[in-house]
A and B are shown apart, each in its own frame.
Chain A
Amino acid sequence: GQQVMQIPQYQHVQEGEDFTTYCNSSTTLSNIQWYKQRPGGHPVFLIQLVKSGEVKKQKRLTFQFGEAKKNSSLHITATQTTDVGTYFCAGMDNYGQNFVFGPGTRLSVLP
């Protein structure tokens, strides 16, 4: 079945440094979503990417969807302590109708 991987598993950064997490799927995706889960909280939707090579920005966050629609990345510029949490990608392949979540990247930001 479809598998979604994320690297790194953990990332510790100093406040103000940049952060990037990468998501890779074993199959071609029809679309991909990103979620953020704060410690003790629930996943909250950030964005959805649909088109090959798509790039979307939300303030300090930049999301990319690979040309082959099998990978994606989330980049945060100048991290803040409010960025702490686990970032999940969730991919939907061309056959399934549910999102498969990656294991997440846990971000720690040191003030």
Chain B
Amino acid sequence: DAGVTQSPTHLIKTRGQQVTLRCSPKSGHDTVSWYQQALGQGPQFIFQYYEEEERQRGNFPDRFSGHQFPNYSSELNVNALLLGDSALYLCASSLGGVLFAGELFFGEGSRLTVL
């Protein structure tokens, strides 16, 4: 049973560029949430996708956007990268959308460095 998989694991970008991160949820899960974790801090909620729609959004600018596909996998896109976007981006999958408050299964994360 595959867990949550994320790609790429590491990437380096320069300011102003755009990046796309990908996530495949745990088998059987239909909800994907994205978190940003800066070094030494706790994960910060970016947004949640369920039924191919953004259901919840944290305090992140519109430069952060996402998508969920019919197979429940998801992408996180960040435009006009800033130095402050350097962080570990975590994908967490769960079941049941916004009505379920159960365990979050996290992937290994994508480490983004913006130079």
Contacts and interface: CB of A to CB of B under 8 A. Distances in A.
Given A97-B98, A98-B33, A101-B42, A42 B107 contact: yes
Chain B contact patch, size range:
20 to 34
B56 A98 contact: yes
B104 A99 contact: yes
B45 A100 contact: yes
Contacts of A92: 101
B103 A102 contact: no
Interface in A41-55: 41-45, 48
Contacts of A111: none
A101 B43 CA distance: 6
Interface string B64-104: 00000000000000000000000000100000001101111
A42 B26 CA distance: 15
Given A88-B43, A103-B41, A104-B41, A97 B101 contact: yes
Interface of A: 1, 4, 30-31, 33, 35, 41-45, 48, 88, 90, 92, 96-104
10 A-B pairs with least C-beta separation:
A101-B42, A97-B98, A42-B106, A45-B103, A103-B42, A101-B43, A98-B45, A43-B106, A98-B56, A104-B42
